[in-house]
Structure 1
Amino acid sequence: MSVQKTGIELCSVISQKTGTEYIWQADPDIWGSHAPVLFPIIGALKSGKFIFNGDTYSLPKHG
């Protein structure tokens, strides 16, 4: 597994069994940009908040 040092972006997940890469590697012949894994959500929440087990938490766009 590989992670960028700035921004903590997950950039590589390779199966030890098959050698298969599961994260887009920005092949410039197809599309030269990365498609980051957004965690814990993609986008934004209504009012930037969510409720879990009765407690309200703030969560910015893309977590």
Structure 2
Amino acid sequence: MTMDQVVLGAAVAVGFFLSAAVSRWFRRPVAGIIFGGVAGIALSVAILSYGLTEVAGRDTAVMAQ
């Protein structure tokens, strides 16, 4: 496991913590769950898609050499 993969995993985990934090900012539980869930999942998916293309692309290039 490389350092890039560890950082990628930590960044995706931050998305779930963001989800919990945003849900606490709203007074109504339903609004907090909806906005928090959307924000956390959006961040996690964005980081994961970026990370998979970057890290996997570099790993493939290294293995090809």
Structure 1 and Structure 2 fold alike (TM over 0.5):
no
TM-score bracket for this pair, using the shorter chain length: under 0.3
> Structure 1-normalised TM-score?
0.25
Report the structure, 1 or 2, having the larger helix content. Answer: 2
- Flag the structure with more relative contact order, 1 or 2, with Cα contacts below 8 A and sequence separation at least 6: 2
Greater strand fraction, Structure 1 or Structure 2? 1
